[in-house]
Amino acid sequence: MDTPVLAEALTLLQKESKNWQVPIVTLVAERSRDPFQVLISTLLSLRTKDEVTTEASRRLFSQAVIPRDMLKLTAARIEKLIYPVGFYKRKADNILLICRILLDEYGGQVPGDLDTLLKLPGVGRKTANLVLTLGFGKPGICVDTHVHRISNRLGYVRTRNPDETETALRAKLPLEWWIPVNDILVAFGQALCKPVSPWCSRCPVAGLCERTGVTRSR
């Protein structure tokens, strides 16, 4: 799939995405415009369903929305607030570590560059890019399992893991799509382009898709 075809696919999917569920981190970003809340909600979302992340984020942010207030909570209290997100004990510890680092080294503010974000406990490239794009509005490409799978399924990239996909997309995806591509493909992946047996019969871009790796569909 060449760049103009991908742009056509993303344009079609962006129109359709209004009918699909918005990813929870995007909702947090739209509501708060706060990089700290984007960072914490993204950490909570890792290996966790959106509906669980939604409620965990709501409970946690009802108690604290800035690093200084978060540090007033114990790890046990945070665990209780965010349960049952995946790896909730480790995430509680990382949240407190991150808040201490933010206060001690960055004046309580979330840093706005990729390399610095990647030094924070529990923060990988997916989380760091989401904070940059949704928290700061800076160019970045957030590649999660949906973006990796669908980019390859469409035939736009041929990569083995999300990090390779991010590198490939940075090399060929037009800059205008860097920020929205995650929202679009996550919503698409949750609604139609499932990992197993995707809804190809309902797909708005079926005619543009190479269906790489698809052995069974609906």
- Does residue 172 carry a catalytic annotation? no
Phi-psi region at 142: left, alpha or beta (left = phi > 0; alpha = psi -120 to 50): beta
| pLDDT above 90 (res 70) | yes
Percentage of the chain exceeding pLDDT 70? 100
Give the CATH class of 24-136.
mainly alpha
Percentage of the chain exceeding pLDDT 90? 88
Residue 25: its pLDDT value, please? 87
Alpha helices per DSSP H over the chain: 3-16, 24-32, 35-45, 50-61, 67-70, 75-82, 88-106, 114-117, 125-130, 136, 145-154, 162-172, 180-191
| pLDDT above 90 (res 182) | yes
**Architecture (CATH level 2) of domain 3-21+141-208:** Orthogonal Bundle (1.10)
Give the active site residue among 15, 119, 126, 194.
Answer: 126
Would the CATH topology of 3-21+141-208 be identical to that of 24-136? no
- Does residue 126 carry a catalytic annotation? yes
Angle value at C-alpha 107, between 40 and 142, nearest 5 degrees: 35
Give the active site residue among 144, 163, 183, 194.
Answer: 144
Domain range summary for the chain, segments of one domain joined by +: 3-21+141-208, 24-136
| pLDDT above 80 (res 43) | yes
Q: How far is CA 134 from CA 41, 141, 180, in A?
A: 12, 11, 9
Mean pLDDT of 18-46: 90
| pLDDT above 90 (res 27) | no
